[in-house]
């Protein structure tokens, strides 16, 4: 187990290093000359050279890279071009918002998807199964921004017009403002995110459960006289969870780097919206910071999934 962990961590570090290389290349692929942009239109060549020197842009590329890497490892991602705010500070403000969104949404879609999938698998091709499939596919086929706008129209606009202003039109209220305002701001984004993703989990759980329910050991569990509810949960679902956990880990890892569409629709200033703004303004340090963080999240999620795999399946532990 220790060796397995060590190998996974080493592989994760290697991937992060490759990503740092790719991200660093962005500085040079980017079409504009940073020093000139910062110096402004009227700047003399001397000023540009000065800025260039201050940013270390006059150094050889390998030296610039080592400098960048060394700072990044110590948590220094530089300053944003426009307000000279540390990138880490910008991200630290955006991260809790994205995390609130992803955590809540993930819990909702996981519970909904797994529950619906199990119910579907217990009676395949029944009316319930077909209804749940239709329900899942309906939301699955809906673009996130459209679903978000629909929810806003009906649950914010229509309700507010009718005199029940339960949901705000968007924006974020931190938990420090109290639990209820936070919840009010998060519910619609959560469901927007969850309804679209739940379909994948419903189908995945259904397929996985159907496969496991046909396994010999499920028949054994029934032959032992175990209650059917326990056969479904402890015996079948336990095995069926493996692919679901994998998918869940990868999805959450990918989303932590920013839920671009949902955050934009609900004007949540999370990492997704921050990165969109940064891209619009060509604010390279912010873009690079978010990309690095997002890839770190994916790599960490994958390692966590692998560890979880070993926890779930004793056969993996030995290898």
15 by Cβ neighbours in 10 Å (0-12 / 13-18 / 19+) ranks as middle
Which of 14, 44, 85, 61 is CA-nearest to residue 281? 85
41 binds another protein (CB under 8 A): no
Q: Taking the complex as a whole, how short is the minimal distance between the CB of residue 130 and another protein, in angstroms?
A: 17
Q: What angle do CA 216, 218, 221 make, to 5 degrees?
A: 115
Which residue, 114 or 199, has its beta carbon nearer to another protein? 114
Contact status, residue 39 vs residue 51, Cβ threshold 8 Å: yes
Q: Taking the complex as a whole, how short is the minimal distance between the CB of residue 220 and another protein, in angstroms?
A: 5
Which residue, 44 or 229, has its beta carbon nearer to another protein? 229
Binding mask 223-242 for another protein (x = CB under 8 A): xxxxxx-x---xx--xx---
Number of residues that bind another protein (CB under 8 A): 22
**The one segment of 18-26, 148-156, 276-284, 308-316 that binds another protein by CB under 8 A:** 308-316
Binding mask 182-221 for another protein (x = CB under 8 A): ---------------------------------xxx-xxx
CA distance 36 to 251: 40
Does the CA dihedral 47-28-277-172 come out positive or negative? negative
314 binds another protein (CB under 8 A): yes
Residue 79, beta-bridge partner list: 86
CA distance 85 to 78: 8
Which residue, 215 or 277, has its beta carbon nearer to another protein? 215
Contact status, residue 310 vs residue 4, Cβ threshold 8 Å: yes
Q: Taking the complex as a whole, how short is the minimal distance between the CB of residue 245 and another protein, in angstroms?
A: 13
Choosing from 19, 142, 159, 312, the residue that interacts with another protein (CB under 8 A) is 312
Contact status, residue 291 vs residue 72, Cβ threshold 8 Å: no
Chain contacts with another protein (rule: CB under 8 A)? 215-217, 219-228, 230, 234-235, 238-239, 312-315
């Amino acid at each position: 187990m220790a060796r397995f962990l060590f190998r996974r961590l080493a592989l994760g570090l290697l991937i992060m290093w490759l990503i740092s290389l790719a991200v660093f290349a962005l500085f040079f692929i980017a079409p504009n000359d940073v020093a000139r942009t910062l110096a402004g239109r009227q700047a003399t060549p001397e000023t540009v050279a000065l800025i260039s020197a201050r940013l270390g842009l006059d150094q050889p590329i390998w030296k610039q890279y080592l400098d960048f890497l060394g700072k990044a490892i110590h948590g220094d991602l530089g300053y944003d071009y426009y307000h000279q705010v540390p990138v880490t500070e910008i991200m630290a403000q955006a991260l809790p918002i994205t995390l609130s969104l992803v955590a809540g949404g993930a819990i909702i879609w996981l519970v909904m998807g797994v529950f619906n999938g199990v119910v579907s698998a217990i009676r395949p091709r029944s009316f319930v199964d077909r209804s749940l499939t239709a329900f899942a596919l309906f939301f699955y086929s809906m673009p996130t921004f459209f679903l978000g706008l629909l929810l806003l129209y009906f649950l914010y606009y229509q309700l507010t017009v009718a005199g029940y202003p339960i949901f705000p039109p968007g924006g974020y209220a931190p938990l420090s403002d109290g639990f209820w305002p936070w919840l009010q701001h998060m519910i619609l984004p959560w469901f927007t995110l969850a309804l679209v993703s739940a379909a994948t989990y419903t189908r995945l759980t259904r397929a996985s459960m159907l496969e496991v329910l046909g396994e010999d050991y499920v028949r054994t569990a029934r032959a032992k006289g175990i209650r059917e509810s326990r056969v479904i949960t402890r015996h079948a679902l336990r095995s069926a969870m493996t692919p679901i956990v994998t998918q869940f880990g990868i999805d959450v890892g990918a989303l932590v780097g920013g839920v671009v569409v949902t955050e934009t629709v609900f004007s949540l200033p999370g990492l997704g919206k921050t990165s969109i703004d940064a891209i619009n303004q060509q604010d390279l340090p912010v873009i690079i910071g978010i990309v690095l963080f997002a890839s770190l999240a994916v790599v960490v999620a994958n390692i966590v999934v692998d560890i979880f795999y070993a926890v779930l399946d004793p056969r993996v532990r030995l290898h």
